[in-house]
Structure formats: structure tokens, C-alpha cells
A = this chain, B = another copy of it.
């Protein structure tokens, strides 16, 4: 008769509305300040209704985590046009960094927060999003190796080191730790106490290191 379908559609709409409201509040006020009650108020439903569509807050956070990852993968799409493997690797790093600074809250959601991963763990699931992104890096590193870079290195370990470096650069910045380090900035004439300059600067250092790894 079709009424069941319409109902089902309405149910899925509401589930998405919850997620959209959560995402907006999240990017607006951060995770800490985003309560179930606030989400409920935004979609004009009772807080208890949320629990008819999501088991708990972690399930919402995990859904946002997945959405956030899709956005990251999307940011990576720029590298498809680049033929040179090493240039592709560099572009991947730049895209990663840019994403972390443009969407610090999403970055936290997908790479820092424990809750979404705990949700994956509880459901004995696998982290497909992470695998997908890591595979992209791995393939690029392997392509670089065929181009003469990183000879003698095992690609997975190397990929992981590269990811770690980028992750470290991004997190140390967004967590606010660098802002209060005087040594790292003040003493360098080129930097002028500006933290924002330290990161692209360090990224260039990192690229130089990798560049020297060509046979």
C-alpha cells in the first residue's frame, strides 16, 4: 500500500535530521557543549525521542565520525590529477593538513576522540574508513618506491611513520600546545613568534627529509 514505505522514509529523515542538528551544534559549540537536550531542542523533539533513533550518544558521535571521514576522503580527491608519485604524496600531506585546520572539530572526531573508536570496538566492527584512507597513502608510497624513493624501506611501516608525522604536526597545533612554547618560535628570526608559520615551515622540513630519500 505504500504507507509503510512513507513511514520508513520519514523515520530515516528524522534520523538524518538528528545527525544534521548534532553536526551543526558540534561545529558551532564543540563536542563538550553539545548535549542530547540541545540536539532535541534544535529538531523540536523531546530528548527521549533521540534514543528511539540512536542507541546512545556514542552512536551519534560515530555516525558523525563516518560523515567526517567521507569529507576527508573528498579532500583527498585532488591528488587524482597528479601524475608524479612524490608530488602526489606531497599533495596528500598538504590536503591532510588543510583539512585539519579547516575542520579542526571534524579532525578531532575522526582521529583524536576515543568514543567513535570505542563504538567500533563494541560492535566488533572494522575501521573501514581508516583502512581506506591509509590504503590511499600506502599506494602512493609504493608508487614513490617504484620511482626510486625510499629504497629498502618496508612500505607499511614507512606509511605509518608519514601519517604519524602529519598527525603529530596537526594535533600539537590544534590542541593549543604550540601557542605557549616560546623557544620553538621566538628564537627563530624567520618565524617571528608566529605559530601559524611554524607548521607549514615544519611541513617543508619534513618534505625535505623525504626528498633526500631518493636512492
Contact = CB atoms under 8 A, between A and B. Distances in A.
A175 interface: yes
A188 B130 contact: no
B184 A134 contact: yes
A44 to B, nearest CB: 30
A179 B45 CA distance: 37
B112 A175 contact: yes
A98 interface: no
Contacts of A190: 154
A99 interface: no
Contacts of A138: 183
Given A154-B205, A167-B168, A181 B127 contact: yes
Interface in A154-169: 154, 156-161, 163-169
B177 A127 contact: yes
Contact of A127 (B165, B180, B198, B204): B180
A41 interface: no
Given A117-B180, A169-B164, A209-B209, A157 B112 contact: no
Contacts of A168: 163-169, 171
Contacts of A206: 161
Contacts of A177: 111, 117, 127, 130
Contacts of A175: 111-114, 117
Task: List 9 tightest A-B contacts by C-beta distance, closest first.
Answer: A164-B168, A168-B168, A127-B180, A157-B205, A167-B168, A117-B176, A165-B165, A164-B169, A131-B183
